[in-house]
Structure 1
């Protein structure tokens, strides 16, 4: 699909044609012939234009080559990540919780990674934004604390045989909430995290690399291990290792708040 550079070149061509037409008209009106100086000027302009087109084509070829290389690297990294997380959470029950503004595509990718890891997915919960406090409604903190307790409830994976609640909770936050909702949302989520920690359930925080709102500082303050690039294969692999307790707690990923890009892989 033509980009801005092609449109610029097209506009230059149009104005060049107009300029040449005007010059031709003037020259023909004076002498009826295009003098040598005018021919040389037109030739120079055309040469410059062709040179610019050639440079644009060369840059496009470089961009295409880089994109192809990046796709190959992503495919290789995805394969390595799959090998790292395969069956890593076998026998571990995990609840996946998506914040109200979390990236849904990343949430779906996390479900796939948890399945590959062998985890038993007890529930997938998509939170709604907390409601404002009124005389009839509870506070945002109380609303999310109640939601957190429900997520820890026993589940019945087969038949009517109830099992204990999840061993770990993976929380995908971040996103792009409206600025006026950020403080109340952070307080409500903190109340939710404290419920899980009080129940001795391992919590791992996550967000996508392009999220406008980063929760990594909040996770750090609460001592929750985290990844800031859960939309990437490496980020999901790091998250699985953290959920399994197989890597040192920390903030991993690509943002400035990360302590390391990736946790050490246990032997």
Structure 2
């Protein structure tokens, strides 16, 4: 609103100045009209300057709040994820370092970060749907059964989730042959890349959504594919949080789509993960997930509050 107001009054000032120039070049208008136009032009310029000052003041407030959150974050999150492990999942178009900062804060909270998986755009391409389904069926571990009406991406989500997360403490932190085969096959197909050791079966997962909503034709299907993966991670592990910037909660955004889906009852979301305070909220949401509590946090449509209320106890018991 401030930016729009500033541009509006600036435009008004320009046109008033133009009108004043025309008037000064005319001999048919009175001096009183010229003086009125001068006063209006000066008032518009003053309003524009006030808007600029207010914008700077608000930006200083935001910067101060970010520094405050960054300074207190280590104390707030200390030991909340003690004994847990976390895998990071980046989606196509995530586009900033939020996922890295969440990972670092999770370590401060006592969790081990197993690694990072980056989903490639090819995974979501329409012409890959059949291949994704065939690959998932081929790699399905023994004992895993797909629902009869499962989509290609629901099957892929179940297979990938089984390779990345676990609820079993005895399996946490360990790689196995079947999980390694899944990750290698998806990597060779060009569907994912990885860093670290994401196959070590974390107990928790954080997915960071695209910064720009998928507003193109087929974008809704792409969101559904990623939601299937998030839901599978949540079901196979102790909890999953999907984060993103405020744009992700707008129409076409991953968080907006997730909040409107059935998965929104189980998977937590944070639509301010690009801020220091939002990264703290992500840790609190993960802690709540371990207790079977999910929620929608942030400032966008569908958020139930900025952070869990009441906040979980200070340390993970």
- Normalised TM-score (structure 1): 0.75
Q: CA deviation at 1:167?
A: 1.2
**Which runs of no fewer than 5 residues in structure 1 stay unpaired?**
27-36, 157-161
Change (3 A) 1:12 1:81: same
The farther-off stretch of 105-114 and 116-125 is 105-114
What whole-Å deviation, never above 9, does each CA across 1:209-263 have from its counterpart, x for those lacking one?
2224122233754512232221222222121122234774322222231222211
Report whether the alignment pairs 1:234 with 2:277. Answer: yes
**Which runs of no fewer than 5 residues in structure 2 stay unpaired?**
1-5, 134-151, 166-172, 177-197
Question: Superposition pairs for residues 189-228 of structure 1, below 5 Å?
Answer: 189-211=226-248, 212=250, 213=253, 214=256, 215-218=258-261, 220-228=263-271
Give the structure 2 partner of residue 30 of structure 1. Answer: none
**Matched position secondary structure for 1:231:** coil
Report whether the alignment pairs 1:250 with 2:295. Answer: yes
Structure with more relative contact order (C-alpha pairs < 8 Å, separation 6 or more) = 2
Larger radius of gyration: 1
Report whether the alignment pairs 1:188 with 2:188. Answer: no
In 2, distance between residues paired with 1:95 and 1:241?
16
Question: Superposition pairs for residues 140-151 of structure 1, below 5 Å?
Answer: 140-141=152-153, 142-151=155-164
Change (3 A) 1:65 1:120: same
**Matched position secondary structure for 1:192:** helix
Q: CA deviation at 1:110?
A: 2.1
Report whether the alignment pairs 1:262 with 2:314. Answer: no
Give the structure 1 partner of residue 10 of structure 2. Answer: 6
**Matched position secondary structure for 1:89:** coil
Contact 1:205–1:219 (8 Å) recurs in 2: no
CA-atom RMSD, angstroms? 3.4
Change (3 A) 1:42 1:80: same
In 2, distance between residues paired with 1:44 and 1:187?
60
Report whether the alignment pairs 1:169 with 2:205. Answer: yes
Give the structure 2 partner of residue 34 of structure 1. Answer: none
Change (3 A) 1:219 1:208: farther
Q: CA deviation at 1:99?
A: 2.1
Contact 1:219–1:226 (8 Å) recurs in 2: no
Count matched residues: 250
Give the structure 1 partner of residue 19 of structure 2. Answer: 15
Question: Superposition pairs for residues 23-34 of structure 1, below 5 Å?
Answer: 23=27
In 2, distance between residues paired with 1:107 and 1:135?
27
Contact 1:234–1:262 (8 Å) recurs in 2: no
In 2, distance between residues paired with 1:253 and 1:81?
17
In 2, distance between residues paired with 1:136 and 1:223?
28
**Matched position secondary structure for 1:230:** coil
Change (3 A) 1:184 1:237: same
Report whether the alignment pairs 1:123 with 2:124. Answer: no
The farther-off stretch of 257-266 and 218-227 is 218-227
